[in-house]
Amino acid sequence: MAALILLESSPVMLAPWHSLSARVLDSGNSPFETAHGKDIWSYAEENAGHSKLIDEAMACDARVAVRALIEGCPRVFDGIKSLVDVGGGNGTALSMLVKEFPWMHGINFDLPHVVAVAPKVDGIENVGGDMFECVPKADAAFFMECVQILKKCREAIPQDKGKVIIVESVLEEDENDKLEFVGLMLDMVMMTHT
């Protein structure tokens, strides 16, 4: 998880925390935009080193989450011949899935500057685009962070047999939970950076 720690503790990602009040007091720009003059994705497109750090941090998370998915829910992938990983970054999650389920053709879909540097892997096609405009057609859509993407994924998969596979943190409401602060922390990070 070192890359995730390096990303979140980098000066680029810490600066928005100093602009947090701008979200409340200003015109509605995110704190990241206030600190850097552009959203996180535009910033990453212009700063290859930061883009690589984002990809490596997301890959850390994918290695843990996808392994748990493969071990705990392999039936989810039954009957899927093509799988699009929406926001797939450097293809880490999709590489693990295609290796485990070799009958699937993978489509690693992310911003053009991201897939341009993604490794070439047998069974995986790297496709650049904007997930808020369209998503490549496949039997199933896979993503690890989602809100507005769901509508486009519904358009992309077959209605009769299509699947949307969502991997997300599940936070139990338990008075004795020593990690109850994690939900607030995740919400704060997303608010500050996006």
Domain 1-16+29-168 part of CATH 3.40.50.2300: no
Spatial CB neighbours of 29, under 8 Å, sequence gap ≥ 6:
22, 23
Question: What's this model's pTM, rounded to 2 decimal places?
Answer: 0.70
Round to whole Å and give the CA distance between 136 and 162. 13
List C-alpha distances in Å: 138 to 41, 69, 81, 145. Answer: 25, 20, 8, 18
Percent of the chain with pLDDT over 70: 88
Round to whole Å and give the CA distance between 184 and 190. 10
Do the Cβ atoms of 102 and 80 come closer than 8 Å?
A: no
SS3 101: coil
Domain ranges of the chain: 1-16+29-168
More confident residue, 24 or 14: 14
Tens digits of residue pLDDT in 169-184? 666 666 777 777 777 7
pLDDT at 32 over 60: yes
Q: How confident is the model at residue 147 (pLDDT cuts 50, 70, 90)?
A: very low
Q: Which pLDDT does position 26 carry in this prediction?
A: 64
